[in-house]
Structure 1
Amino acid sequence: METSELLKKVRKIEIKTKGLSKHIFSGEYHSAFKGRGMSFSEVRNYQYGDDVRNIDWNVTARTGDPHVKIFEEERELTVMLLIDMSRSSFFGTVNQLKNEILTEICAVLAFSAIQNNDKVGVIFFSDRVEKFIPPKKGRQHTLRIIRELIDFEPTGHGTDMRSTLEYFNNVVKKRSICFLLSDFLTENYEAPLRIVARKHDLIGVHLVDPREEELPNIGLIRALDAESGQMRWIDTASKRIRSEYAQWYTDHSQYFKRVFLRSGADTVTIRTNESYVNALLRFFQRRIS
């Protein structure tokens, strides 16, 4: 892509998603994600109702008056975006391709994070880890992430979520908020998912295109398997074939829900024929309540 065209696209996404982050998601993001813990702030005189477990016995003994330690939440967080760049993400039957919607969602999350002075990092993956961008703060860093999302060309075609989760667990040592964004048309990742969920605040963002859920009855078609690269003829008039495909998709969706539920991780489903803004807003509000 030409540099001038790329910059125009980056600017367009920045204007749209930064506004959403500032005016819609800033308060919800701040409330939905807690800091890493409580850090010591100050010592003051004991007041009625204070927790006696917070009494500072050294200061109390030295002054002769009871004093308590005051703690405040450590707000600075690290947000990691694990983004599925496999060929199935370059598909869409509504207004945008799935990867275009993923780009906007990631931009919204990144701008929400930097407005709260949090760090943002990215792992692009397909059937391999494609690229790791270490967590940093600032607008320029977020714009770099958006540029990569728009212009990145993966070398792999398929999806290997298992090795990606293992890689993430090895390179990101401190607890983070981890958004795993994918269509989840794969399985066999439950074990590493559980490990990640124990250490990090893990959220699975499931992107769904309505045409992927069932085949239309339009007769004999020649279709490309995006992840394997194979062309094949499919008789969509066959009730059996349509039923088998629908069952294949249902099995993957149920696997996604089941393994995330078992691991204690959170999920949000975003459909390409609906507003991702509303879906994210409902997700944030659910975590707050």
Structure 2
Amino acid sequence: MPMEKTEKTLLSKKELLEIFVNHRVDSPFPGDWESVFKGLGYEFWALRELEPTDSFKNIDWKAKARTGKFFVRDFLAESYFNVMILYDVSRSVQFGRKELLQAHIAVSLAYSAIASNDGCGLILFADDIVKYIPPRMGRTHFMEILDAIVHAEPVRCGGTSLGPALTKLLNEVPESLTFILSDFLYPLDFGYTFHHAAQGSTKHEVKALQVLEECEIALPPGTKGILPLYDYESGRTVSLDLTKWQAFNDTMSRQREGTRTLLGRAGIDLLTVSPADDFGRKINSFMRRPPSTY
């Protein structure tokens, strides 16, 4: 990932659109996501040195005997598969730079899928399905997805619901590598499981990318003052006593861990990303990890 994604490098959604409309992009932008698509199939790709997050089952013991170092085997995905992006457009993602970061991640994934001659589709969701673009290949289709992301407007709703988006995915797409982009600051309301042993004839590898502002992850120690907070979905304003930063941080940590556990039980691994992160590098590292078990 050559570009760092920080507050200074996040482009506006309008700028993202202009780049692809006005220029022929010869290399993936905003980053090279090739490694995201490794590991789903059985075609050998390359050897690389063992990293802390790697599974020992992928160690190449012959390479260890020859070199004295631990290497693991990378595999390419099958020659064609669908990348699906489930994109939260509820009003809570308006807070700070969350929706802008979601757009950067989604555009990166969509462009890399299309550049790799894979299909890509999009589901915009809030309390229900807002827009569905079935997976297809080609630059024209990528521009359709980009246009939908750029012009997506936050939806006022009583509460975000992931269930309808997952139902649409399972009913419309036979198999996919799916990324859910959301803040996940709402109750999870679905009964599906994506563990490989339980999938039957369908095959969906589902990853959850939790996009949060830095202050939603943790407040700096010693913070003081009173901060009014507006709830985009309920319309209510509450006051946060910043001197209670430790209690706030503990609450947010428990909430993230609860979300991680619930998603994990359904076979969905979770990664939390903020605008301060190099999101490409972080997601690529996340995709190399062996799936969690619950």
Task: Report the TM-score, using the length of structure 2 for normalisation.
Answer: 0.69
In structure 2, do the counterparts of structure 1 residues 225 and 13 end up closer, same or farther at CA, with 3 Å as the change threshold?
Answer: farther
Deviation at 1:121, TM superposition (A): 0.7
Structure 2 counterpart of 1:19, from 27, 40, 65:
27
Identity %: 26
What residue number does 1:58 align with? none
Q: How far apart, in 2, do the equivalents of 1:180 and 1:278 lie? A: 18
Is residue 2:96 matched to residue 1:89?
no
Q: Secondary structure at the match of 2:113?
A: helix
In structure 2, do the counterparts of structure 1 residues 76 and 144 end up closer, same or farther at CA, with 3 Å as the change threshold?
Answer: same
Residues 221, 236 of structure 1: 8 Å contact kept? yes
Deviates more, 1:192-201 or 1:256-265: 192-201
Residues 192, 266 of structure 2: 8 Å contact kept? no
What residue number does 1:151 align with? 151
Q: How far apart, in 2, do the equivalents of 1:134 and 1:230 lie? A: 36
Structure 1 counterpart of 2:214, from 210, 226, 246:
210
Q: How far apart, in 2, do the equivalents of 1:249 and 1:22 lie? A: 30
Unaligned runs of 5+ in 1: 36-72
Deviation at 1:32, TM superposition (A): 3.2
Q: How far apart, in 1, do the equivalents of 2:190 and 2:24 lie? A: 35
Q: Deviations over 1:95-131 (max 9, x none)?
A: xx11111111111111111122111111101122111
Q: Secondary structure at the match of 1:159?
A: coil
Q: Secondary structure at the match of 1:121?
A: strand
Deviation at 1:147, TM superposition (A): 1.6
What residue number does 1:135 align with? 135
What residue number does 1:167 align with? 168
What residue number does 2:121 align with? 121
Q: How far apart, in 2, do the equivalents of 1:208 and 1:193 lie? A: 25
Residues 17, 107 of structure 1: 8 Å contact kept? no
Deviation at 1:224, TM superposition (A): 0.7
What residue number does 2:60 align with? none
Deviation at 1:23, TM superposition (A): 7.1
Structure 2 counterpart of 1:236, from 217, 242, 266:
242
In structure 2, do the counterparts of structure 1 residues 204 and 17 end up closer, same or farther at CA, with 3 Å as the change threshold?
Answer: farther
Q: How far apart, in 2, do the equivalents of 1:22 and 1:120 lie? A: 17
- Aligned length, in residue pairs: 238
Q: How far apart, in 2, do the equivalents of 1:233 and 1:88 lie? A: 17
- Pick the structure with more helix per residue: 1
Q: How far apart, in 1, do the equivalents of 2:80 and 2:165 lie? A: 25
* AA matched with 1:107: V
Unaligned runs of 5+ in 2: 1-11, 43-76
Task: Report the TM-score, using the length of structure 1 for normalisation.
Answer: 0.70
Structure 2 counterpart of 1:31, from 32, 38, 42:
38
Q: Secondary structure at the match of 2:27?
A: helix
Q: How far apart, in 2, do the equivalents of 1:234 and 1:261 lie? A: 31
Report the RMSD for the aligned CA atoms in angstroms: 3.2
Q: Deviations over 1:75-97 (max 9, x none)?
A: 211111001111221122xxxx1
Q: Deviations over 1:37-69 (max 9, x none)?
A: xxxxxxxxxxxxxxxxxxxxxxxxxxxxxxxxx
Q: Secondary structure at the match of 1:223?
A: strand
* AA matched with 2:262: V
Residues 205, 267 of structure 1: 8 Å contact kept? yes
The higher-RCO structure (CA 8 Å, 6+ apart) is: 2
Deviates more, 1:158-167 or 1:188-197: 188-197
Q: Secondary structure at the match of 1:11?
A: helix
| Residue pairs, 1:27-106, within 5 angstroms | 28-34=35-41, 75-92=79-96, 97-106=97-106
Q: How far apart, in 2, do the equivalents of 1:275 and 1:168 lie? A: 29
Q: Secondary structure at the match of 1:191?
A: coil
Residues 98, 211 of structure 2: 8 Å contact kept? yes
Deviation at 1:135, TM superposition (A): 1.2
Deviation at 1:220, TM superposition (A): 2.8
Q: Which has the larger Rg?
A: 1
Q: Secondary structure at the match of 2:80?
A: coil
Q: How far apart, in 2, do the equivalents of 1:179 and 1:17 lie? A: 24
Is residue 2:232 matched to residue 1:226?
yes
Q: How far apart, in 1, do the equivalents of 2:160 and 2:25 lie? A: 27
* AA matched with 1:228: S
Deviation at 1:194, TM superposition (A): 4.7
Q: Deviations over 1:180-216 (max 9, x none)?
A: 1111112233523558983411111122322012457
